[in-house]
Amino acid sequence: LRRVPPLLAKGAAGALSQQSRSAPWAALVAGVSAFGASVRVATASGIQAGYEGREEAIAGVVQAKVEQLRGWQRPSDAELRERGLSSRQIGVTRKDGTEPAFRNEYWDNHKAGIYLDIVSGEPLFASIDKFDSGTGWPSFTRTLPGVTLVTKTDYHMGFGRTEMRSPIADSHLGHIFSDGPRHRGGMRHCANSASLRFVLAEDMDAEGFGELRKLLFPDVQPRHTTPKADL
């Protein structure tokens, strides 16, 4: 057998010693990372569990709003312009357009509140279900309980996609994909900001959504303003 030169032997021993010392640290780092991941999942699951515990009540309030809108007539494009909607908002909601990614109003909105249809005012999504999808458009894991979107398959891109439309105004909202957070159902409702109007949680009472605010954001105090007729 060939004798290993002392210098090489010393280097090998040092490497082994370094490896043996770093092994516990590697295990510790891996453990901390795994713990962090489990905490993130557990926290998200906890939020969802609490939210789901109020689903029936939330759905009842949302459906009451739908009843209020029964018989609502969709405005013409000219009427929407008179109401202050922009060409982009009309183009997206009425002509199935798509706004630019990362250059729209709500893609990075992290405030607490609800998202309404820009045309009818019907409630559609809650910030509780919003997540950063990295796409540049506001993305939600689900709609508010009680909301039943109209879905269609469109081939505007040369392949089938599931389009989502609002149930009352029939506004084009965006598309639904199955690449959302897996621990929150796996769905991504990719919406256009131009189809939505955001109402801050503290302004929900003034907008007539006081009961919904109490269910979704019970710790948020409303602003002291004269409320519209509540749901």
Report yes or no: 165 and 118 within 8 Å, Cβ to Cβ: no
Cα distance between residue 124 and residue 144, in whole Å: 6
Report yes or no: 171 and 91 within 8 Å, Cβ to Cβ: no
At 161, is the secondary structure helix, strand, or coil? strand
Active site residue 190: yes
Sign of the Cα pseudo-torsion (75, 81, 83, 87, in order): positive
Give the count of alpha carbons within 13 A of 163, CB side only: 21
Give per-residue burial for 127-166: e unless 16+ CB within 10 Å, then b.
Answer: bbbbeebeeebbbbbbbbbbbeeeeeeeeeeeeebbbbbb
Report yes or no: 177 and 190 within 8 Å, Cβ to Cβ: yes
The bridge status of strand 188-191 relative to strand 196-200 is unpaired
Cα distance between residue 100 and residue 204, in whole Å: 28
Cα distance between residue 87 and residue 106, in whole Å: 17
Catalytic residue among 62, 90, 169, 190: 190
The residues annotated as belonging to the active site are 190
